[in-house]
């Protein structure tokens, strides 16, 4: 098993703590210098979300909104921001987390509170973009758990060491606090993420982890932030190639693409979430044709979505454009599990080996 060096975790905590402290210092310094404190909050409007060709994911542009203490309309927002920042600093210091809902309830005791949770969610995002840090780093956790992981990897969560090969048939569940998890060691060569838990269990039963020296990740549909963070970390920290296998339809394509190139909505944290090196394994339009898979006709909404994707900068490269055109041409889609037409084992025994061979 390869040992993994402890490297970033302490830093992340310190960096976040210092960023939060810096926010307060900026304001106090301005006041000491008799200046009216102003905060620059990067704009999250659609016109300020741009696709970065070099990074291969969405980033925020350089437009800023000013929040001045001297503006009646902005002063309340500044008040809310420093309150949230203090709350987060406390979370980071005590190594605790809270959900946005919990923060909303806590805020009721603040001098400058929120009118509704929507407002507090937005101020949370304001802090994220202003400091360039993810909300998980700030201790603000999403409610939902991440994906299931099965395979030979050892993780350290606090005092507990977990081997994802010995955590039951459903594997290890990625926690929202994934950044506090250390990779202790592993004995795999790659990671295969699949859209459905059906396929996840098929692969566990067919011992795919053994056959391909792989981690199996069951995405459960659109990948949660923690899942994407996990995939990015295993790709970058452990140098493991990541393959994604979804249903052969526009929705499956896009689940893969959000893992690879991030979402527009989270442009401000894509640098922590996107895994540009991850690869889409299937099911592609070509697979549908080559493997003569059982299909369903494309619905109107599928066609519409495919046309949208064709225009999306993330799908700019030729391979994707060809796949989209091909699917529109055949007018058909196929599910991952349609390989069972050739027997339950076919997908693991035949499809994956052939595809991995072609890609590696």
Partner 1 sequence: MSQQASELFDNFQELTPSEFFRKNKQMLGFTGKIRSLTIVFHELITNSFDAAEEAGILPEIKIDLKRIDKDHYLLRHSDNGPGIPEDYIMKVYCTMFAGSKFRNIQSRGQQGLGCSGCVLLSQMTTGEPARVVSAYEEGDKLKGVKLEFKMDVKKNKGMLLKREDYDAKHTGVCVELEFKDVSYSLAEQGAFEYIRRTIIGNPHAKIIFRDPTGHKYIFNRAADMVPVLPKEVLPHPKGVTADDLIFMAKHTDKRRFRSLLTSSLSRMSNKRISEIEEITGIDLNKRPKDMKWDEAEEIVNAFSKMDFMAPPTSGLIPIGNEQIEDGMKEILKPEFITATTRKPVTYRGGVAFIIEAGIAYGGNSGRLVNETRKAEIMRFANRVPLTFDQGSCAITEALKSIDWKRYGLRDLDNTPVTIFVNIISTQVPYLSTGKQSVAPEPEIIHEVRQATMKVGRKLQKYLRAKKAAKEEALRSRIFEEYVPAILKESAALAETEVPEYQEVLAKVTRRSLAELLGEDPDKVEEEVEEELTSTIDDVEEEKNPDIEDID
CB 215 within 8 A of CB 150: yes
- Which residues lie near partner 1 (CB under 8 A)? 20-21, 23-25, 27-28, 30-32, 34-37, 69-72, 75-76, 78-79, 82-83, 85-86, 89, 111-112
Closer of 69 and 238 to partner 1 (Cβ): 69
Rounded-to-integer distance, Cα 91 and Cα 85, Å: 10
Active site residue 105: yes
On the 0-12 / 13-18 / 19+ scale of CB atoms within 10 A, 54 is exposed
CB of 108 to partner 1, least distance (A): 15
Residue with tokens 């600093």: 89
Q: Output the six-digit token pair for 297.
A: 């006709």
Neighbours of 218 (CB within 10 A): 24
247 annotated ligand binder: yes
DSSP 113-175: --SSHHHHHHHHHHHHHHHT--TTTTTEE-SS---EEESSEEEEETTEEEETTSS-TT-EEPP
| Pairwise CA distance, residues 175 & 183, whole Å | 14
Least distance to partner 1 from the beta carbon of 126, Å?
15
- Quickly tell me which residue has 């400091």 as its tokens: 131
Burial of residue 60 (CB within 10 Å: 0-12, 13-18, 19+) is buried
Q: Is 335 annotated as a binding residue?
A: no
Distance in angstroms (rounded) separating the CA atoms of residues 308 and 311 = 5
Tell me whether residue 75 or residue 100 sits nearer to partner 1 (CB atom).
Answer: 75
> Minimum distance between the CB of residue 132 and partner 1, rounded to whole angstroms?
17
Q: Residue 234: name the closest of 298, 313, 181 by CA.
A: 181
Residue with tokens 């102003």: 38
| Annotated catalytic residue, options 17, 64, 105, 291 | 105
Nearer to partner 1, 123 or 281 (CB): 123
Helix locations, the chain, DSSP H: 9-32, 72-94, 100-106, 117-131, 197-205, 208-211, 225-237, 250-261, 270-273, 285-290, 300-311, 318-330, 346, 352-359
> What is the distance between the alpha carbons of residues 276 and 259, in angstroms, rounded to a whole number?
8
**Nearest residue to 352 (alpha-carbon basis) of 227, 125, 158, 199:** 199
Numbered residues of the known binding site: 195, 247
Active site residues: 105
């Amino acid at each position: 098993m390869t040992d993994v060096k402890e490297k970033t975790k302490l830093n992340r905590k310190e960096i976040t703590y210092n960023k939060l402290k810096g926010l307060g210092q900026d304001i106090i310094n301005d006041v000491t210098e008799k200046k009216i404190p102003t905060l620059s909050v990067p704009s999250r409007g659609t016109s300020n979300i741009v696709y970065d060709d070099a990074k291969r994911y969405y980033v925020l542009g350089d437009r800023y909104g000013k929040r001045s203490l001297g503006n009646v309309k902005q002063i309340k927002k500044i008040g809310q921001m420093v309150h949230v920042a203090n709350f987060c600093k406390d979370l980071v210091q005590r190594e605790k987390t809270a959900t946005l809902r919990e923060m909303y309830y806590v805020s009721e005791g603040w001098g400058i509170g929120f009118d509704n949770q929507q407002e507090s969610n937005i101020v949370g995002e304001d802090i994220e973009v202003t400091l360039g840090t993810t909300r998980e780093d700030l201790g603000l956790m999403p409610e939902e758990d991440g994906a299931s992981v099965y395979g030979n990897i050892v993780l350290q969560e606090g005092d507990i060491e977990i081997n994802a090969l010995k955590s039951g048939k459903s594997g290890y569940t990625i926690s929202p606090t994934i950044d506090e998890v250390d990779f202790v060691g592993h004995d795999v060569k790659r990671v295969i993420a699949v859209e459905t838990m059906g396929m996840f269990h098929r692969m566990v039963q067919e011992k795919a982890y053994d056959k391909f020296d792989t981690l199996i990740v069951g995405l459960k549909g659109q990948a949660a932030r923690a899942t994407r963070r996990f995939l990015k970390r295993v790709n970058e920290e452990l140098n493991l190639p990541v393959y994604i296998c979804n249903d052969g339809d526009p929705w499956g394509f896009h689940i893969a693409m959000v893992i690879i190139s991030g979402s527009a909505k989270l442009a401000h944290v894509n640098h922590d979430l996107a895994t540009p090196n991850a690869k889409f394994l299937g099911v592609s339009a070509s697979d549908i044709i080559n493997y003569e898979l059982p299909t369903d006709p494309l619905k109107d909404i599928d066609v519409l979505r495919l046309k949208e994707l064709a225009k999306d900068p993330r799908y700019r490269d030729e391979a994707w454009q060809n796949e989209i055109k091909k699917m529109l041409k055949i007018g058909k889609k196929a599910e991952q599990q349609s390989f069972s037409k050739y027997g339950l084992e076919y997908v693991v025994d035949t499809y994956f080996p052939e595809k991995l061979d072609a890609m590696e």
